[in-house]
Structures are given as structure tokens and as C-alpha cells.
Amino acid sequence: MALKLHNITKRFGSFTAVDELNLEIPEKQIFGFLGANGAGKTTTFRMILGLIDASEGDITWNDAAINYDKSHLIGYLPEERGLYPKLTVKDQLVYLGRLRGMNKQAILQELDKWLERFNVTEYRTKKIEELSKGNQQKIQFISAVIHKPQLLILDEPFSGLDPLNVELLKKAVIDMKNEGTSIVFSSHRMEHVEELCEHLCIMHKGSPVVHGSLKEVKRSFGKKNVVVHADFDVTYLKELPGVVKYKVVTGGCELQIENEQVAATIFDSLSGKGFVRTFDLEEPTLNDIFIEKVGASYE
């Protein structure tokens, strides 16, 4: 079971977009696919969907290749959004839904449910071009999920949405997962990935630099963060051995440290100096990991 990418390489002429990618994306979970622009995320998605062929390697889903016979089991939200500008929301989704193997009646039923859920029932008979960008995106999302796919691929699903709508869509994604859909999604926004994903992969120039479950990834990163808020001057902390990064914040500082032992040293050095309001040892954020893993090779 699950979606397996085995030794996937994709070359466009002399340019290698994806380089020997091995991934196993578990069933009924949300898998985060991270990477800077041009890291090969969209290309990978297109290969999974069979829109383009991999130069090498193979992709299987439930031990079989994905082809158009299975398109009713798969949902896709492309990064470049687009619907028929001149068609109404209803006509649009009826057409796209039928192409995913649904019948008209079922589509209309599902459509009403989703429109209600996204608070956009009044747009049912409006043309797409009359809708705001955010609302178009909701319709686009509906088009990707209306047929209750087993595998859902979301390319940057939350970009360009206001925080309220991001929450609305996030909730929908989580509900889809709970109903048994396997979801792969890409994002630049680390906090979304952190919030939603059990497993993730950070792509850099076509290869995965980090890969695994969120907990593992954080644990194996080693470095941790320490937040100190104190009534006295704490700038001396940046000179301590094992402190990698130092950042002044109101009422104290945030430190990135080599490992957990350093935290103990810091704690000891702080004691007796005065009143410490906060001392917090935190797991590294995905943002830290991303910047380190991807940013390092930019330099």
C-alpha cells in the first residue's frame, strides 16, 4: 500500500529537475513536501500524476502505476490556479466532476455541501471571473476534493488566502484525512506543515535533504532553541560554548544551541544572577531546519 517513489530522476535536456528521489508516502496521513522555488516539487507531483514521465525510476500507488483509469481516485490542486472564467461555478464543477467519474446528481449534492461549508452558497450560479481570487481558490479546492479522492495532491493550497480562509481550508484538509484520504501537499509555509503533517520531506535542487516523520526530523536535527527572559543583562550568553545563534527579543533573548547539554550550562550560568521570568527549552522549528538545510548550500 501507500505511494512509493523509487529512484525517481527527471531530466529536461541537460537540466536535472529531480535527482534519484526515494520516497514512501504513507496511507491516510498528510505528507508535507517542502522546498524552495525550483526545488522540483511541482515536477514530482506531475510525475506522480503521470502528466510527465520520469526519466528513470518508477512510481507506484498501491503497487500499481497511476494512470487515467484511476483518475476518479485522485484529486489534484495545481499550483497555477485556473478554472473556466466564463462558466458558472455549478457548470464548472459538474463538468470537472463528471471527468472524475461522478454523475451529475452526486456532484450537485456534494457541491451544495461544500459551498455551505465555505460560506459561498451565493456564488453557485456566478461566473468564475466574477469571483474574488480567494473565492476562486475555494472553488478550485472543491474541484479537487468533490469526488472524495483516495489520494489528494495539493500544490501550495494555502497561498494567497487570508488567515480566516486558511483556517477553513486547513480544517477541510484535516477532515479529509480523518475520512481516510492520503494527502500530499507542498508549501513554503513551515508553520502549516508543522501543524498538519505527520511525515515530511524537504527538497533541495531535486534531492531530498530531510526526510522522515516530523518528530524524527526534529530529533535528528539535534540543535534546540532556548528562550530566556530575565530582569538582568543576558548578552553574555552568546559567548558561551555551544551557542550557535543569538537573537535579542523584548525582555531577553532566543538562542539556538548545539544540543541539550548546552541548555544545562546556560541554566547553571543564569542561576544566582537575578530573577528569570522564562527559561524554555524548545524543539527546533521546521523553519530552523529548513533554513539550515536549504540555506546552507546557498552560501
Partner 1 sequence: MLLMNKFMIIVGHTYTNRLKSKAFMITTLITLLFVMAFANLETIIGLFSGEDEEERVAVVEEGANLFEHLQGQLEPYESEVKVEKFEGTEQEAKDAVTDGDYVGVLSVSLAEDNIPQGTYYTEQISEYKVSSLLEQALQQLKVTVASQSAQVEQATINEIMSPVAFEKVSLKEDAKTEEELSQTRGLVYIMLFLLYFGVLMYGSMISTEVATEKSSRVMEILISSVSPVKQMFGKIFGIALLGLTQFGLIVLVGYIAVQQNKEFLDSTSISSYLGFSNIEISTLIYAIVFFLLGYMLYATIAAVLGSLVSRTEDAQQVMTPMILLIVVAFFLAMTGLSNPEATYVTVTSFIPLFTPMLMFLRVGMLEVPMWEVAISLVILVATIVALGIIGGRIYRGGVLLYGRSSSFKDIKKALQLTKKE
Q: Which residue has the cell 548550500?
A: 297
The number of residues making up the chain comes to: 299
Among 28, 90, 98, 177, binds partner 1 (CB under 8 A): 98
Phi-psi sector, 151: left (phi>0), alpha (psi -120 to 50), beta: beta
115 contacts: CB under 8 Å, gap ≥ 6 = 89, 121, 123, 124, 142
Indicate the residue among 71 and 213 with the shorter CB distance to partner 1. Answer: 71
Counting contacts by CB under 8 A, is residue 96 touching partner 1?
yes
What is the spatial distance between Cα 240 and Cα 166, in angstroms, rounded to a whole number?
A: 41
279 contacts: CB under 8 Å, gap ≥ 6 = 226, 227, 228, 267, 270
The stretch near partner 1 (CB under 8 A) out of 47-55, 169-177, 202-210, 272-280 is 47-55
In whole angstroms, how close is the CB of 17 to partner 1 at the nearest point? 11
Per-residue x/- track, 143-172, partner 1 (CB under 8 A): xx----------------------------
In whole angstroms, how close is the CB of 260 to partner 1 at the nearest point? 46
Q: Which residue has the cell 508516502?
A: 25
Counting contacts by CB under 8 A, is residue 38 touching partner 1?
no
Counting contacts by CB under 8 A, is residue 105 touching partner 1?
no
Counting contacts by CB under 8 A, is residue 11 touching partner 1?
yes
103 contacts: CB under 8 Å, gap ≥ 6 = none
What is the spatial distance between Cα 128 and Cα 131, in angstroms, rounded to a whole number?
A: 5
Amino acid at residue number 112: D
Indicate the residue among 67 and 235 with the shorter CB distance to partner 1. Answer: 67
Counting contacts by CB under 8 A, is residue 218 touching partner 1?
no
In whole angstroms, how close is the CB of 2 to partner 1 at the nearest point? 20
φ, ψ dihedrals at 55, nearest 5°:
-70, -40
- 133-145 and 163-178 helices cross at what angle (nearest 10)? 0
The stretch near partner 1 (CB under 8 A) out of 6-14, 116-124, 218-226, 257-265 is 6-14
The stretch near partner 1 (CB under 8 A) out of 46-54, 161-169, 175-183, 227-235 is 46-54
219 contacts: CB under 8 Å, gap ≥ 6 = none
Counting contacts by CB under 8 A, is residue 37 touching partner 1?
no
Among 65, 99, 164, 291, binds partner 1 (CB under 8 A): 99
Tell me, what DSSP letter sits at residue 88? B
Among 55, 62, 88, 265, binds partner 1 (CB under 8 A): 55
Residue numbers of the site for partner 1 (CB under 8 A)? Answer: 11-13, 46, 49, 51-56, 68-69, 71-72, 74, 76, 78, 80-85, 87, 95-96, 98-101, 143-144
